[in-house]
Amino acid sequence: MNATAELLGAIREGEESIIGRLYDQHRTRFMIWAKRKFPLESTALIDIYQDAVIILYQNVVEEKVTELSSSLETYLFGIAKHLCLRELRRRRRAISQENEIPEVAVAPEFLRQEEQDHRQTLLKEGLRLLGENCRQMIEYFYYYNFSHEVIAERMSYKSANAVKTQKHRCMQQLKDLLKNASS
């Protein structure tokens, strides 16, 4: 197993601390490369680099990336390049729109978005109120897609069934929190 495959494996295993190593490994070369390529100041490039590293991490966790045909750095810089171009487009748009009257969002779409944002805020708040143990279990199950067996091993539960029971309790607790918050 080469270093990249090992790194991807560790990310998929939920080793969050690996992100710091990944960040340090490519930061210097990224800054040199990006400063030559894009007319963006260092603070914006650092922000973009952080976002790119997080996207890479989450893409691996969500198995959008399982193996790389190019090097990890090429993939990371590819994401960062896309983000740099998006930032440049956003800035150009902001300048061109400065003197224009802002468009008013179409009501139904606007309301749908608002409703969705509200639900997500409630969910986020609910997860925070659940406590670390439940939050971690839900993250492992719904985000990392870990099986009950893997979660049992990681979180030192006796069995997969014990995880299932605890997860059910956590989800019920979350539903109750949301119900209370909505009412």
Partner 1 sequence: MSDINPEELKNVLRAEMRQRLKAELSSKEAKASIRRRLRPLSWAATVLLAALALWFFWPTAAPDGPALFAEHFKPLPNALSPTIRGQEDQVPLDQALMFYDGGNYAEALQQFSDIPEAELPPGGLMYRGLSYLGVKDWNNAIKDLARAEAGPYQLSASWYRALAILAKGDIDEARNRLKTIRDETEHPFREQAEELLSKME
List residues binding partner 1 (CB under 8 A): 16, 19-20, 23, 46, 50-51, 53-54, 57-58, 62, 119-120, 122-124, 127, 138-139, 142-143, 171, 174-175, 178-179, 182
| CA distances in angstroms from 22 to 30, 109, 127, 180, 183, listed in the order given | 12, 39, 28, 41, 44
Q: Which of 6/117 has CB closer to partner 1?
A: 117
173's CB contacts (< 8 A; 6+ apart) are 130, 134
Q: CB nearer to partner 1: give 110 or 142.
A: 142
What is the closest distance, in whole angstroms, from the C-beta atom of residue 97 to partner 1 in the complex? 27
- Percentages helix, strand, coil for the chain (3-state, rounded to 5) are 75, 0, 25
Least separation in angstroms between CB 99 and partner 1: 33
**Closer CB to partner 1, residue 97 or residue 134?**
134
What is the DSSP-derived secondary structure letter of residue 69? S
Closest separation between CB of residue 17 and partner 1, Å? 9
Between 58 and 161, CB nearer to partner 1: 58
We find the least distance from the C-beta atom of residue 103 to partner 1, in angstroms, to be 26
Cβ burial of 148 (10 Å; 0-12, 13-18, 19+) is: buried
**Residue closer to partner 1 (CB basis): 24 or 153:** 24
- C-alpha to C-alpha distances, 18 to 14, 22, 32, 54, nearest whole angstrom: 9, 6, 23, 11
Separation between Cα atoms, residue 183 and residue 173, nearest integer Å: 15
Cβ 139 to partner 1 shortest distance, Å? 5
